[in-house]
Chain A
């Protein structure tokens, strides 16, 4: 079992829909990252969380440390949100390296 599991692996929705991507992890962490990867490979950091909730524009990230679970929400989704969203955790034991989930491929249709 992977240390970081994301669901769903693939998600297709219509423009305007509310999107939720989930991430569960099995190790103690010092921080959790949500990343966005567009075709061609470039990765952009969206959020870094250690507790609670963060919001940036239409994106909201939450984390529940006790349940070892995080969610990424996108409100009023748009076709330009289509990308792979990756959850990554920094283990408290792992010398600060990131451990990544397998990613969620999101497609927003107009």
Chain B
């Protein structure tokens, strides 16, 4: 257990539905990252927060994706109108500052039918 938790661990949804994932980082960590990992590939960066500010978003993050970290603690990632191509593992990580080790959560595995 790294201290980073994610909920739910698994989500199965039908195409077109909205889904929301939650990440709880290590409490004193000010940086929070979201990554996406498809089968057989390494993770890909989606977005990151420093405290409550979202500082960078990947081109992978289409308009259907939105992420928030309202009080600089937990974060949510919402996908609207899900597509089968959204099926992946969504990973959250947190760190204390920019240049330190990132601690990863267990991930949320999304399956879009």
Q: Give A contacts to B, CB under 8 Å.
A: 4, 30-31, 33, 35, 40-45, 48, 86, 88, 90, 95-103
Tell me if B62 is interfacial: C-beta within 8 Å of chain A. no
User: Nearest 10 pairs between A and B by C-beta?
Assistant: A100-B42, A43-B104, A41-B107, A96-B98, A97-B45, A42-B106, A102-B42, A95-B56, A100-B43, A48-B101
- Contact flags B23-59 to A (C-beta < 8 A → 1, else 0): 0000000010101010011111100100000011000
Q: Determine the chain A residues whose CB is within 8 A of the CB of B31 once the complex forms.
A: 96
Tell me if B67 is interfacial: C-beta within 8 Å of chain A. no
> In the bound complex, what is the Cα–Cα distance between A42 and B43 (angstroms)?
12
Tell me if B79 is interfacial: C-beta within 8 Å of chain A. no
> In the bound complex, what is the Cα–Cα distance between A35 and B89 (angstroms)?
16
Q: Determine the chain A residues whose CB is within 8 A of the CB of B99 once the complex forms.
A: 30-31, 90, 96
Q: Determine the chain B residues whose CB is within 8 A of the CB of A102 once the complex forms.
A: 40-42
Knowing A41-B89, A97-B48, A97-B56 touch, does A33 contact B102 (C-beta < 8 A)? yes
Tell me if B42 and A41 are in contact (CB < 8 A). no
Report A61 CB to chain B, min CB distance, Å: 13
What are 17 A-B residue pairs whose CB atoms fall within 8 Å in the complex?
Answer: A40-B106, A41-B106, A42-B106, A43-B91, A43-B104, A43-B107, A44-B2, A45-B104, A86-B43, A96-B48, A96-B99, A97-B56, A99-B45, A100-B35, A100-B43, A100-B44, A103-B40
